[in-house]
Amino acid sequence: MVTGGTLNFRIYDKSVDKTKNDYCREMLTEILSWGVKPSWVTGDSWYSSVANLKYIRKLGFNFMFGIESNRTISIERGQYIQIQKLEDWCDDENTVYLKDYGMVKVFRQIYKKSYRYYIMGAANLDDLENITKADFKRVHDAHWSIERFHRAIKQVCNIERFQVRRENPIRNHIFCAIKAFVKLEFMRESKVISHWYEVKRDLFVSTIKNYILENAKSHEAVNA
């Protein structure tokens, strides 16, 4: 969980009777105890469970979450459809009833030739209609920055690729991955690199080039 400059995480242990959504609510409660006051709570579709949404509303926060295209909504009372089958769109937004939760604003975006869907909710239901597409863009931009962080820390810093099983070594690995990302971010801010993936790309290109140059002659026999 990332909030502003604050990072909180949990090591998911299958032997503990907790789901990832349980951990999500636990982490949210913890960062609030630190004095963090988020303007919005956001996450991907994995964390858009009804229990999470109700908990966030109870805490008094607005939210934006991605949701799966098969989530059930209603425009007319008692008539439910999957969000992907909704045809009544006004500039790619609408106000709908999310099953088992309540009223939300729903937005859609084209991504790789298919739609992605997002819901936005207000702690005070009277404020729901005041949520605009400009609000969606602003919050989604922040949301996407967090998504990019998670992608980079997995693909570049290998936070998920640990060869250990005990808790302390796992924590050490996670710490080192986060520290590596911070180093990359300092390098990017200092214009040493233009993006997070540059060091890894250049390392592979250099390694492959050197291997080819050093071993070209020994491989002549296998050339057609």
Q: Where are the domains of the chain?
A: 2-131, 167-218
**CA 75 to CA 98: how far, in whole Å?**
9
pLDDT tens track of the chain, all 224 residues?
A: 655 556 788 888 888 899 999 999 999 999 999 998 888 999 999 999 999 999 999 999 999 999 999 999 999 878 999 999 998 898 899 999 999 999 999 999 988 888 999 999 999 989 999 999 999 999 999 999 999 999 999 999 999 998 888 889 999 999 999 999 999 999 999 999 888 988 888 777 777 777 777 777 666 655 55
Angle between helices 50-59 and 20-33 in degrees, nearest 10:
10
In sequence order, the β-bridge partners of residue 40 are 62
118-146 pLDDT, tens per residue?
999 999 989 999 999 999 999 999 999 99
Q: pLDDT tens digits for 107-120?
A: 999 888 889 999 99
Crossing angle between the packed helical segments 167-189 and 133-155, to the nearest 10 degrees: 120
38 CB neighbour count, 10 Å cutoff: 17
| Closest alpha carbon to 136 in 83, 95, 189 | 95
